[in-house]
């Protein structure tokens, strides 16, 4: 069964179209939802939770329609909103317990699972402290714990690394990866930082202006898109023409030419072309993480790792 | 250290990790979730499950109500005279009750608005209206309990103090139930009036002032009409303020003659019902709009 399925999903606000005929079909796993701010990520999440109505198209989450079964979906989904929003004067364990009860757990089960959730996010020792005294990273963990407390089938995380320092980001990403792989819970991670989510995600959905740019499994994207980056001090245009003439799908990215790597003969083709044109070769290297180039048409902020 | 020796035997050196357990137990429906939110909010109003600081104010008011009730019972046992009826007790608690509402209504709604915790509620099974109505029910119930507790004390004391035998006891019980009804009416009208005012802002202090102003701003209107208006204006004047509205209702329902409302009793009831309905509608509208 598909985890999330949308078909021509459209949402219009008075002044802007947030989602414009979005069609995706997502398998369970860790899914990265990338796009610049305002690309429609949060709108998509709110529609999936049944908090916003769509204008057109269809959407199914866990096989249910959010417009009619929003309640059932929300009972099985955990949501971590973009901005940490927690009552500062509450004790973390009590807050997470309360949110567990709000998800329908009986009292004793809520208390037990709140402790467990806080343990899994690494706050076991500190769980009886007031949230107000926590660092930003700890607050983010509490927000994650409250999304996890009722053992959801799907976690929706909106910019979970926002406001964290590099170490905090690493820890949060590691945690998300564990949830997706060891806990058996599917995770959708929203981010405007592609480089951040590509490491932990099994598949990626890139949207821009409410439209789908690309959706695929990360493994197939990287395999297909290993590229050679060629940089010459002058005559880049000549080289581009020559390589294109050889039937290679060359893309220009700033001072570099990006050539899809088909095999060892690609190296030979490029080197021969450079030699024949007598160009000063500056650099020739192979890129394994070619994802950023995949989204070359995504605004700079997105492809920035 | 104990953990170290345990770690030596644990595989892969992970001490705490016993792995993730899926939850297979019961999941309660929306109704039970709303009920849990109601109980949680009611406890919050009295500072239960919260810091000692949060218990001080509700504690003072509960103490005040109980003290009045105990003194009333004591006087009655000593002198045999009923110095304070159940209805009079509710009236006496008028100002403390307003203070209580001005503090607890912001406590119940402003904290959630201020810490932007509402998206966490609305992404769960309960609906926006469920949240608002649970908070309203908790406010009204908290106000009712502040009155009902001491009333019960007075009733117990009264049952021992009364000398009319079974008939007297029955009379005591009906009086008590009458007082309880008036307390409920007071709690519903004032609670429903206070909560949407509190939900206007996320700042508790401002909300408290807004509620205090809301309760008192029309008091001069009542006063002016009462002293300057004709007989009809005087009888209608108490409609202008939620507190005097209740006095008017009391006069009609319990044939109390302290406030003269003429034959306008049904109108008072109608206005009270309308006030509660409009306040509740305003509260629901507010929560339909609030950002999630």
Please, what is the Cα angle at B117 between B116 and B118, to 5 degrees?
95
**The pLDDT of residue B261:** 84
Nearest CB to A101 within list B36, B119, B292 = B36
Confidence of residue B6 (pLDDT cuts 50, 70, 90): very low
Residue A205 carries which DSSP code? E
Cβ <8 Å between A87 and B125:
no
**The pLDDT of residue B237:** 87
**The pLDDT of residue B154:** 94
Q: For residues B262 and B259, what is the distance between their CA atoms, to the nearest angstrom?
A: 9
| pLDDT tens per residue, range B29-81 | 999 999 999 999 999 999 998 888 889 999 999 999 999 999 999 999 888 88
**The pLDDT of residue A155:** 96
| pLDDT tens per residue, range A243-289 | 888 888 888 877 888 888 777 788 888 889 889 888 888 888 776 54
Cβ <8 Å between B27 and A94:
no
Nearest CB to A106 within list B26, B117, B125 = B26
Confidence of residue B292 (pLDDT cuts 50, 70, 90): low
Mean pLDDT value across chain B: 89
Query: Which residue ranges in chain A fall short of pLDDT 50?
Result: 289-290, 297-305
CA–CA distances in Å: residue B105 to residues B56, B133, B140: 16, 13, 9
Percent of chain B with pLDDT over 70: 93
Nearest CB to A104 within list B29, B115, B123 = B29
Burial tier of B231 (Cβ tally within 10 Å: 0-12, 13-18, 19+): exposed
**The pLDDT of residue B10:** 41
**The pLDDT of residue B38:** 97
| pLDDT tens per residue, range B239-270 | 989 999 999 999 899 887 778 888 888 999 99
Cβ <8 Å between A71 and B125:
yes
CA–CA distances in Å: residue A244 to residues A247, A255, A268, A296, B68: 5, 17, 15, 19, 95
Q: For residues A269 and A246, what is the distance between their CA atoms, to the nearest angstrom?
A: 8
Residue A130 carries which DSSP code? B
Percent of chain B with pLDDT over 90: 66
Residue B222 has pLDDT above 80, yes or no: yes
Q: How many CB atoms lie within 10 A of CB B1?
A: 6
Cβ <8 Å between A99 and B120:
yes
**The pLDDT of residue A288:** 55
Confidence of residue B8 (pLDDT cuts 50, 70, 90): very low
> CB contacts < 8 Å between A and B, how many?
93
Cβ <8 Å between A81 and B40:
no
Residues pairing with A130 in the sheet: A91
Q: Is A88 on the interface with B (CB under 8 A)?
A: yes
What does the DSSP assignment read for A246-277? TT---EEETTEEEEE--SHHHHHHHHHHHHHH
**The pLDDT of residue B1:** 40
**The pLDDT of residue A229:** 83
pTM of the model: 0.82
| pLDDT tens per residue, range B117-169 | 999 999 999 999 999 999 999 999 999 999 999 999 999 998 888 878 888 89
Q: For residues B202 and B132, what is the distance between their CA atoms, to the nearest angstrom?
A: 15
Total length of chain B: 292
Q: Is A89 on the interface with B (CB under 8 A)?
A: yes
Residue B17 has pLDDT above 70, yes or no: no
Residue B11 has pLDDT above 80, yes or no: no
Give me the phi and psi of A33, to 5 degrees please.
-115, 100
Burial tier of A116 (Cβ tally within 10 Å: 0-12, 13-18, 19+): buried
């Amino acid at each position: 069964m598909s985890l999330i399925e949308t078909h021509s999903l459209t949402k219009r606000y008075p002044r802007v179209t947030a989602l414009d005929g979005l069609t995706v079909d997502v398998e369970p796993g860790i899914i990265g939802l990338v796009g610049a701010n305002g690309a429609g990520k949060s709108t998509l999440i709110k529609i999936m939770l049944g908090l916003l109505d769509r204008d057109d198209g269809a959407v199914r989450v866990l096989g249910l329609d959010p417009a009619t079964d929003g309640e059932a979906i929300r009972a099985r989904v955990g949501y971590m909103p973009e901005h940490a929003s927690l009552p500062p004067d509450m004790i973390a364990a009590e807050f997470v317990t309360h949110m567990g009860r709000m998800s329908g757990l009986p009292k004793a089960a809520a208390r037990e699972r709140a402790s467990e959730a806080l343990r899994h996010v690494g706050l076991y020792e500190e769980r009886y402290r007031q949230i107000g005294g926590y660092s930003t990273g700890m607050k983010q963990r509490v927000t994650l714990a409250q999304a996890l407390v009722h053992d959801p089938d799907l976690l929706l995380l909106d910019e979970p690394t926002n406001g964290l320092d590099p170490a905090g980001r690493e820890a949060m990403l590691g945690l998300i990866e564990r949830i997706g792989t060891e806990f058996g819970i599917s995770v959708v991670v929203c981010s405007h930082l592609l480089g951040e989510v590509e490491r932990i995600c099994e598949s990626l959905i890139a949207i821009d202006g409410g439209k789908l740019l690309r959706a695929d499994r990360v493994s197939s994207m990287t395999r297909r898109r290993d590229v050679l980056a060629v940089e010459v001090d002058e005559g880049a245009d000549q080289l581009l023409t020559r390589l294109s003439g050889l039937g290679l799908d060359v893309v220009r990215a700033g001072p570099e030419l990006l050539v899809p790597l088909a095999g060892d003969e690609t190296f030979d083709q490029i080197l021969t072309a450079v030699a024949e044109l007598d160009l000063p070769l500056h650099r020739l290297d192979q890129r394994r993480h070619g994802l950023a180039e995949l989204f070359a048409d995504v605004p700079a902020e997105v492809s920035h790792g | 250290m104990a953990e170290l020796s345990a770690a030596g035997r644990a595989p892969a050196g992970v001490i705490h990790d016993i792995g993730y357990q899926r939850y297979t137990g019961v999941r309660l429906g929306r109704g039970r979730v709303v009920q849990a939110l109601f109980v949680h909010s009611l406890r919050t109003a009295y500072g239960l499950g919260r810091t000692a600081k949060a218990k001080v104010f509700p504690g003072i008011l509960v103490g005040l109500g109980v003290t009045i009730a105990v003194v009333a019972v004591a006087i009655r046992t000593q002198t045999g005279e009923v110095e304070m009826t159940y209805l009079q007790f509710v009236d006496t608690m008028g100002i403390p009750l307003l203070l209580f509402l001005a503090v607890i209504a912001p406590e119940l709604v402003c904290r959630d608005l201020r810490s932007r915790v509402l998206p966490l509620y609305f992404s769960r099974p309960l609906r926006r209206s469920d949240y608002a109505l649970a908070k309203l029910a908790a406010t009204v119930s908290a106000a009712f309990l502040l009155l009902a507790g001491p009333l019960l004390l007075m009733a117990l004391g009264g049952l021992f103090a009364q000398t009319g035998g079974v008939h007297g006891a029955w009379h005591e019980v009906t009086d008590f139930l009458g007082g309880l009804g008036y307390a409920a009416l007071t709690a519903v009208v004032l609670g429903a009036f206070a909560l949407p005012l509190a939900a206007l802002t996320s700042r508790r202090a401002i909300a408290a002032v807004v509620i205090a102003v809301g309760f008192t701003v029309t008091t001069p209107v009542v006063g002016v009409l009462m002293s300057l208006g004709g007989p009809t204006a005087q009888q209608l004047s108490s409609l202008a303020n939620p507190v005097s509205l209740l006095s008017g209702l009391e006069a009609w329902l319990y044939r109390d003659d302290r406030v003269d409302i003429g034959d306008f009793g049904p109108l008072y009831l109608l206005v009270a019902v309308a006030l509660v309905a409009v306040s509740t509608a305003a509260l629901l509208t507010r929560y339909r709009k609030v950002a999630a």
